[in-house]
Amino acid sequence: MRLYVNIDHVATLREARKTDEPDPVRAAVMAELGGAEGITVHLREDRRHIQDRDVRILMETVRTGVNLEIAAEDEVVAITTELRPFQVTLVPERREEITTEGGLSLSTPDSRTRVRSATRRLQDAGIRVSLFVDPDEATLRHSADVGAEAVELHTGEYANARGEGRARELTRLQAAAVLGGEIGLAVHAGHGLTYENVIPLAALPEIEEVNIGHSIMARAILVGMERAVREMRDLLREAPLRVREPGGWVPPLGW
């Protein structure tokens, strides 16, 4: 099973101050050093976190593969066909949502035409296309019909459920994963996965890729906290000495 690490939250933190740190591009390098098999970012229509600049530089620096999440909208599809990431995951997008809610709707002929057309344009540019969908039979069959190579099963309901509800959601995901394989779709999964709830899901042989963001970013902040604070403490303690010593402190480049 491939692990794709979603680094959108790094950009969210940067955009909170409109500064240049933390840089998602550096985070991607670190994630790859940690063993990520791919890097996922969502170029949202409102550019609330990841910016075009990030995707452009990620395309030049990521050594594994970039999975770009976008809506099936002309503007971002056009940009994406220029950038040519390894893979695109088409997702539904609403400006007011906190994060992606629910899978793509393929229930109407209009929605299928829109997704089919975006899928074709992306594939013509040499990009593999995955659709973020709820784990239900009709949507999976529509996903194959519109020509996608893969589906990412929405695991949000599974993540939110507890007890028997969660067991039911797991069975639903498993059935969807088996069906996906039978109708020729590669099966991915993502949303709300954590260090705890990913375990039974990762044991399903039909799922070949997971996309995980929030839980890994949350842990990264905590496991890095102690070191970050200690480094600032050490700096404060040494500062008077370093400034007073001749040659002890030189302004860095770009000061």
Annotated catalytic residues are 42, 69, 191
Confirm or reject binding of residue 116 to ligand PXP (CB under 6 A): no
Query: Considering only CA atoms, which of 12, 29, 30 is closest in space to residue 21?
Result: 12
Site string for ligand PXP, 33-72 (x = CB under 6 A): ---------x--------------------------x---
Helices within the chain (DSSP H only): 8-17, 24-33, 52-61, 74-83, 109-124, 137-145, 156-160, 163-182, 198-202, 214-244
**How buried is residue 25: exposed, middle or buried, by Cβ count under 10 Å (0-12/13-18/19+)?**
buried
Task: Compute how many residues bind ligand PXP; rule: CB under 6 A.
Answer: 19
The residue within the footprint of ligand PXP, chosen from 76, 190, 197, 209 (CB under 6 A), is 190
Distances (CA, A) of 217 to 11, 19, 62: 11, 19, 18
The residue within the footprint of ligand PXP, chosen from 3, 7, 8, 87 (CB under 6 A), is 8
Q: Which is nearer to ligand PXP, 15 or 240 (CB)?
A: 15
At its nearest, how many Å lie between ligand PXP and the CB of residue 90? Answer: 9
In the bound state, the residue with its beta carbon closest to ligand PXP is 213
Pairing of strands 38-42, 66-70: parallel
Residues 122-151, interacting with ligand PXP (CB under 6 A) = 132
Residues 191-220, interacting with ligand PXP (CB under 6 A) = 191-193, 211-215
**How buried is residue 98: exposed, middle or buried, by Cβ count under 10 Å (0-12/13-18/19+)?**
exposed
Binding site for ligand PXP (CB under 6 A): 6, 8, 42, 69, 89, 91, 99-100, 132, 152, 190-193, 211-215
